A and B are shown apart, each in its own frame.
Chain A
Amino acid sequence: QKEVEQDPGPLSVPEGAIVSLNCTYSNSAFQYFMWYRQYSRKGPELLMYTYSSGNKEDGRFTAQVDKSSKYISLFIRDSQPSDSATYLCAMSADPYSGAGSYQLTFGKGTKLSVIP
């Protein structure tokens, strides 16, 4: 079982739809959770950063972490064509806890297209 699983899509939605992107993971030591957005032929850029369980909202974007289910989600409200990109989840354990590796573990990304 891979440490982080992410449905690669592609996912195609009409403009204005609510988008739900998800990742599951197996390492219970993960505590830091991130979502990156990658436009075509560009480097990934940080979208959301959360620590432990709970929700975080930033404009049209909401990140949710459910550590009991080992499941994280990114919701995009009122999706726009400019949201068309690949979304990567990433997570890490406390590097000083001895419970995980130092670096981030990435999902393979979900390609999203928002159709006008």
Chain B
Amino acid sequence: NAGVTQTPKFQVLKTGQSMTLQCAQDMNHNSMYWYRQDPGMGLRLIYYSASEGTTDKGEVPNGYNVSRLNKREFSLRLESAAPSQTSVYFCASSLGGQDAYTFGSGTRLTVV
């Protein structure tokens, strides 16, 4: 049982480049989330998908887009990367909104 799988684990981008972070869960969870974690800032929600076919903005959505491809997969896209997007990105999933989250192992992104 893999849980939540994120790819890639590490990435270095140049300013202005684009990339997509992939996330897949195998727990038949309904809800999926993308967070970024920065020193001193804690976990900040970028976007979430309460159920297949829906997506909503979180606390810090600017510069990002998401796609809930199906029940298992939720991707995060950076269209034009900026140094301020250097961070560790975590994908998470849960059965419902009040349920415990299962997190992936993270993607460490550096934008130079």
Contacts and interface: CB of A to CB of B under 8 A. Distances in A.
Interface of A: 8, 31-32, 34, 36, 41-46, 49, 88, 90, 92-95, 102-104, 106-109
B98 interface: yes
B101 A46 contact: yes
Interface residues on B, range: 20 to 34
Interface string B84-112: 00000010100011101111111000000
A89 to B, nearest CB: 11
Interface stretch (B13-21, B37-45, B75-83): B37-45
A95 B100 contact: no
Interface of B: 4, 31, 33, 40-43, 45, 48, 50, 56, 58, 90, 92, 96-98, 100-106
Contact of B48 (A49, A103, A109): A103
